[in-house]
């Protein structure tokens, strides 16, 4: 198909959707001949799943196994489920996934659920269900966190998500706008998207090489709503970003889109405050007016005017100590994203490979807050300033 | 919802669809408080899956986990997959399912795929993929065959299936007709469908009790296209049908719809011919002009003018000896089915619990052939006659 063949009866351009599938398989996963593929997706992302299956089989996939979730099935649980339901999880399924990843199956995740799906549900039930699921998912997640196999996350413009991002538009218009934003950020709006990714990976590599050459000791960040945050960097830290090589030897692009380069903070040298300027979605719940304070690398205060229980549960359930910052990432928001206006949302919903599995929830929250912060600031041109302290 | 609230903009009556979901949970599964539910379905059956999830959670389900398949993803494999793909299967997933069934998870299957889906594909690839899948599925299937947990199969009127059953109608009309046929055969066209199933189970029980009282030694069947088939019944055979009690103590209705009562043939006392009057779908492939001959309980000849390789592969791959008849079932086709005109198709696509796991494929084929035979005969009022030889 060419761009000229676009069927305007659908808000999602099928040519670009097909290119996104191709990029996921050829760039995101670098799927190898004979490799199986395990794919998770919202049920509404079926059109993208079908395109991915075709590209995967053309690339020589052994077997493509899609696992679908559905927002209405999820909501049924919170609305009609009895008491014990919220402590249950599909251990058998996650253990199976771990086994598949251990046998060199590649993993692709399509995100696209409404980030506010559970914001109207009982936060205690949400926290219990999330905790049970996190515990059950651990064996499979570890295979991904440890980068045992090649993996990739991409986004699909579902209607429920589009309504959240463009609440003032008709649904079709909102979906079209979100789709175009995802396609632009994912670099599938050019005819040779695979070549565009090769070029982008080269730019990110150049950036990480420069940062690694500087041997910075700490980063100091200033915002107009929060006091200073000082992030000490781990001794021997390394900046990485874009394409990475998994332990099975395959060089993949875990996040599509991605603009970030990231590194490991020092676990005892983070001081200061994080105050995001707007509501944040955490575990599909809206959290208002979050304020967090770090001392010696640990969160010592975390408050919110709404959703505080979900916020604290998230930070609490996998550790006994106060959560620490496990990763720091720095994004240059490119012109294409500013033009699209919502690509940062895409990135906010993607999950990142973490250098350590500790404090994952807290870190993801922080990443989101800082992105929201940086985005809001860039919009009003009051820049969040980052200063680099050189080790000299 | 009541029948009066039906939205005629959709070909599938949402009130009856909701009742079908309710019957699946309350009659088919008799789902217990706290019991998890594993559900398989074609992706297009999502509207029914959502209704089932709601009824299951209202009935106290622990966790509902749906697993979806998709016809286009399946076709991609046969059209674009490389050589080794056809010997692969998701062992990790089936082993997980077996683990779930072993931990008292109930199992619900929604059927609705196009029965001719793979009829245009390479029969060797189809046979290889089917063999690999059967082997991988074995641990999970054994839990079902052994009736370790409560399980149920229902049907969803997908467009691709409806087009096969009503090829001369527009798609919407075909779907509406198939939906109405499924709803009628599944007894959800009355306001109190659960009570209708209680009554129906009582009738089937009465029938099995009468048959068991007769202690028949053999059945002799005559058709106008095939010579006689003589089926000896196993010593101490038992006729069963309708509701059955699983090993976890739950009395469920594995098949919805069901009209059959069935029993165990003698493994060495089946003689004669089976010649179905029309094409038969086996492993989603059309098989033409099938003819099979039994001697001493074994199939000694099996021919077809088209799809013979798929037919023979199916009979061959799980045994070294020639296939035998593992089950015999007798259906009274009720008036409601005759009126609906295609309910037999529904039943033809359901898979039955087998008294033994041996010869499962061959038996399912035979069941389908005989049903097709009986159906065609009843249409032209040249009845297939069954004579009973009493031991008495």
Beta bridge partner(s), residue A295 = A298
Nearest chain A CA: its distance from B213 CA (Å): 44
Residues with Cβ within 8 Å of B321's Cβ and at least 6 positions away in sequence, in order, are: B298
**Cis, peptide link before residue A83, omega less than 30° from 0:** no
* Contact flag A95-B96 (C-beta cutoff 8 Å): yes
Residue with tokens 């696509």: B349
* Contact flag A81-B65 (C-beta cutoff 8 Å): no
B32, closest residue in chain A (CA to CA): A82
Determine the Cα–Cα distance for residues A200 and A56; give it in Å rounded to an integer. 23
What pLDDT is attached to residue B200? 95
Determine the Cα–Cα distance for residues B94 and B129; give it in Å rounded to an integer. 15
Residue B291 clears pLDDT 80, i.e. is over it: yes
* Contact flag A90-B53 (C-beta cutoff 8 Å): no
User: What ipTM was reported for this prediction?
Assistant: 0.79
H helix runs in chain B, sequence order: 14-23, 46-58, 71-80, 91-102, 123-145, 159-165, 171-185, 193-214, 308-316, 335-340, 343-349, 360-379
Residue B336: both structure tokens together: 């409601």
Residues with Cβ within 8 Å of A193's Cβ and at least 6 positions away in sequence, in order, are: A19, A20, A22, A23, A27, A186, A187
Interface-testing mutation among B25, B42, B53, with chain A (most A C-beta atoms within 10 A): B53
Residue B374: both structure tokens together: 């009986």
Q: Flag the least confident range among A212-216, A373-377, B2-6.
A: A373-377
Query: Of A119, A136, A132, which Cα lies nearest the Cα of A311?
Result: A119
Determine the Cα–Cα distance for residues B227 and B387; give it in Å rounded to an integer. 14
Residue B351 clears pLDDT 70, i.e. is over it: no
Top pLDDT among A276 and B30 is at: B30
* Contact flag B61-A81 (C-beta cutoff 8 Å): yes
What pLDDT is attached to residue B77? 97
In sign, the C-alpha dihedral spanning A35, A71, A361, A80 is negative
What pLDDT is attached to residue B298? 83
φ, ψ dihedrals at A140, nearest 5°:
-75, -40
Interface-testing mutation among B68, B129, B140, with chain A (most A C-beta atoms within 10 A): B68
**Considering only CB atoms, which chain A residues are within 8 Å of B40?**
none
* Contact residues, chain B to chain A, C-beta under 8 Å: 33-34, 36, 43, 46, 49-50, 53-54, 57-58, 60-68, 70, 72-73, 76-77, 79-82, 84-85, 88-90, 92-93, 95-97, 99-100, 103, 105
* Contact flag B63-A43 (C-beta cutoff 8 Å): no
What pLDDT is attached to residue B80? 97
| pLDDT per position as a tens digit, B369-385 | 333 333 333 333 222 23
What pLDDT is attached to residue A316? 53
Whether residue A246 contacts residue A151, with contact meaning beta carbons closer than 8 Å, is answered with yes
H helix runs in chain A, sequence order: 14-23, 46-58, 71-80, 91-102, 123-145, 159-165, 171-185, 193-214, 308-316, 335-340, 343-348, 360-379
| pLDDT per position as a tens digit, B177-194 | 999 999 999 999 989 999
- Give DSSP secondary structure letters for B217-238: EEEEEE-SSS--EEEEEPTT--
Determine the Cα–Cα distance for residues A184 and A173; give it in Å rounded to an integer. 16
* Contact flag B88-A36 (C-beta cutoff 8 Å): yes
Residue A43 clears pLDDT 90, i.e. is over it: yes
* Contact residues, chain A to chain B, C-beta under 8 Å: 33-34, 36, 43, 46, 49-50, 53-54, 57-58, 60-68, 70, 72-73, 76-77, 79-82, 84-85, 88-90, 92-93, 95-97, 99-100, 103, 105
Q: How confident is the model at residue A277 (pLDDT cuts 50, 70, 90)?
A: low
| pLDDT per position as a tens digit, A107-151 | 999 999 998 899 889 989 998 999 999 999 999 999 998 999 999
Q: Flag the least confident range among A57-71, A192-206, A336-350, B229-243.
A: A336-350
* Contact flag A90-B65 (C-beta cutoff 8 Å): yes
State percent of chain B over pLDDT 90: 52
Beta bridge partner(s), residue A118 = none
What pLDDT is attached to residue A349? 26
Mean pLDDT over B118-143 rounds to 93
| pLDDT per position as a tens digit, A44-83 | 999 999 999 999 999 999 999 999 999 999 999 999 999 8
Interface-testing mutation among B57, B110, B121, with chain A (most A C-beta atoms within 10 A): B57
Whether residue B68 contacts residue A68, with contact meaning beta carbons closer than 8 Å, is answered with yes
| pLDDT per position as a tens digit, B31-81 | 999 999 999 999 999 999 999 999 999 999 999 999 999 999 999 999 999
Top pLDDT among A325 and A311 is at: A311
* Contact flag B68-A73 (C-beta cutoff 8 Å): no
């Amino acid at each position: 198909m060419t761009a000229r063949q676009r069927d305007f009866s659908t808000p999602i351009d099928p040519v670009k959707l097909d290119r996104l599938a191709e990029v996921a398989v050829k760039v995101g996963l670098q799927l190898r001949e004979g490799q199986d593929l395990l794919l998770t997706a919202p049920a509404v992302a079926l059109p993208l799943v079908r395109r991915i299956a075709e590209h995967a089989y053309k690339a020589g996939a052994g077997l493509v196994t899609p696992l679908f979730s559905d927002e209405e099935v999820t909501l049924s649980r919170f609305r009609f489920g009895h008491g014990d339901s919220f402590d249950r999880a599909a251990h058998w399924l996650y253990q199976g996934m771990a086994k598949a990843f251990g046998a060199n199956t590649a993993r692709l995740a399509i995100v696209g659920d409404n980030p506010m799906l559970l914001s109207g549900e009982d936060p205690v039930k949400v926290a219990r269900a999330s905790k049970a699921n996190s515990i059950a998912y651990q064996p499979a997640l570890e295979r991904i966190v440890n980068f045992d196999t090649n993996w990739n996350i991409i986004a699909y413009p579902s209607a429920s998500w589009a309504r959240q991002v463009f609440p003032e538009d008709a649904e079709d218009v909102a979906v079209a706008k979100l789709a175009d934003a995802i396609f632009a950020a994912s670099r599938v709006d050019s005819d040779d998207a695979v070549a565009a990714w090769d070029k982008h990976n080269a730019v990110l590599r150049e950036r990480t090489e420069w940062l690694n050459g500087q041997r910075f000791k700490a980063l100091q960040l200033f915002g107009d709503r929060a006091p200073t945050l000082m992030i000490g960097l781990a001794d021997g830290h390394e900046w990485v970003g874009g394409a990475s090589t998994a332990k099975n030897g395959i060089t993949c692009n875990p996040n599509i889109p991605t603009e970030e380069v990231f590194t490991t903070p020092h676990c005892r040298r983070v001081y200061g405050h994080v105050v995001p300027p707007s509501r944040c979605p955490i575990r599909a719940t809206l959290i208002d007016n979050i304020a967090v304070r770090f001392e010696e690398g640990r969160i010592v205060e975390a408050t919110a005017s709404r959703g505080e229980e979900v916020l604290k549960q998230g930070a609490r359930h996998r550790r006994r100590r106060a959560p620490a910052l496990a990763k720091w990432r720095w994004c240059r928001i490119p012109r294409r994203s500013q033009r699209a206006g919502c690509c940062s949302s895409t990135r906010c919903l993607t999950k990142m490979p973490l250098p350590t599995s500790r404090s994952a929830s807290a870190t993801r929250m922080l990443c989101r807050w800082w992105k929201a912060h940086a985005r809001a600031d860039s919009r009003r041109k009051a820049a969040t300033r980052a200063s680099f302290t050189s080790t000299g």
